[in-house]
């Protein structure tokens, strides 16, 4: 048994000029007296996206603007008659954020930004940014030596404990 199917979109338009109105002979030249469009496609194996693509081509043929076509397609999903669960499925599929979720997304962004700033600063604030310290190598050496002397008085166990605490505090755990 074979299955054959065909989908057709048909558009017929006629224009009857009125010679009593207008601002000159160019008014009539701007219109085609008749237009006939027939778009056909084999429909036996078309999926939903292909149907929408076909209908988009038809709408372009009859003079719709591309942004209006996209707006119409989105209005099928984001309207008062579609369940919020279904809207959220589409948002997840296309990585969209609904207006109701913007505050939560902003809070996530702030937390990530703060964590990045903490990581960028480094443990105990010792990481220097490029161009941040214009001092000579000797000044940097002696500053590092002074920092070292602050830690030289601790035992290995105490330093290990401080390092673990720093990893927990600044790097959010051991990876």
| Residue 35, SS3 per DSSP | strand
Distance, CA of 132 to CA of 141 (rounded, Å): 16
Residue 145: inside a domain: yes
Whether residue 44 is contained in a domain is answered as yes
Compare 72 and 174 and report the one with higher pLDDT.
72
- Residue 77: inside a domain: no
- Whether the full predicted model's pTM is greater than 0.75, yes or no, is no
105 plus 164 within the same structural domain? yes
Q: Are 115 and 170 in contact (CB under 8 A)?
A: no
105 and 43 within one domain: no
* 75 assigned to some structural domain: no
Domain holding 122, by residue range, is: 100-171
Long-range CB contacts (within 8 A, 24+) of 167-174: 167/123, 170/118, 170/119, 170/121, 170/122, 170/123, 171/119, 171/123, 172/115
Please report the pLDDT score of residue 75 as a whole number: 93
Domain boundary among 14, 38, 64: 64
Whether 104 and 166 map to the same domain: the answer is yes
**Structural domains of the chain, count:** 2
The answer to whether residues 117 and 161 belong to one domain is: yes
State yes or no: pLDDT of 149 exceeds 90.
Answer: no
pLDDT at 23 over 70: no
Q: Burial code of 150-167, b = ≥16 C-beta within 10 A, e = fewer?
A: eeeeeeeeeeeeeeeeee
Check if the beta carbon of residue 69 is closer than 8 Å to that of residue 30: no
Residue 20 lies in a domain: yes
Domain end residue (candidates: 44, 64, 84)? 64
pLDDT in tens, 113-147: 988 887 777 666 666 566 555 667 788 788 888 88
Whether 90 is covered by a domain: the verdict is: no
Give the CB-side neighbour count of residue 89, counting CA atoms within 13 A.
6
Q: Please report which helix (H) or strand (E) contains residue 6, including its range.
A: strand 6-14
Q: How confident is the model at residue 65 (pLDDT cuts 50, 70, 90)?
A: very high
Domain final residue pick, 64, 92, 112: 64
> Is residue 146 assigned to a domain?
yes
């Amino acid at each position: 048994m074979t299955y054959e199917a065909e989908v057709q979109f048909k558009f017929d338009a006629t224009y009857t000029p009125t010679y009593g109105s207008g601002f000159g002979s160019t008014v009539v030249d701007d219109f085609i007296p008749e237009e006939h469009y027939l778009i056909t496609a084999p429909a036996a194996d078309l999926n939903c996206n292909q149907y929408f693509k076909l209908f988009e081509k038809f709408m372009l043929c009859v003079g719709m603007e591309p942004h209006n076509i996209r707006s119409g397609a989105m209005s099928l999903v984001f309207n008062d008659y579609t369940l919020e669960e279904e809207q959220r499925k589409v948002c997840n599929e296309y990585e969209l954020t609904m207006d109701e979720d913007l505050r939560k997304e902003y809070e996530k962004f702030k937390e990530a930004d703060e964590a990045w700033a903490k990581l960028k600063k480094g443990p105990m604030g010792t990481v220097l940014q490029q161009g941040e310290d214009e001092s000579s190598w000797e000044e940097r050496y002696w500053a590092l030596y002074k920092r070292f002397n602050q830690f030289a008085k601790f035992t290995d166990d105490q330093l290990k404990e401080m390092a673990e605490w720093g990893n927990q505090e600044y790097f959010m755990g051991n990876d």
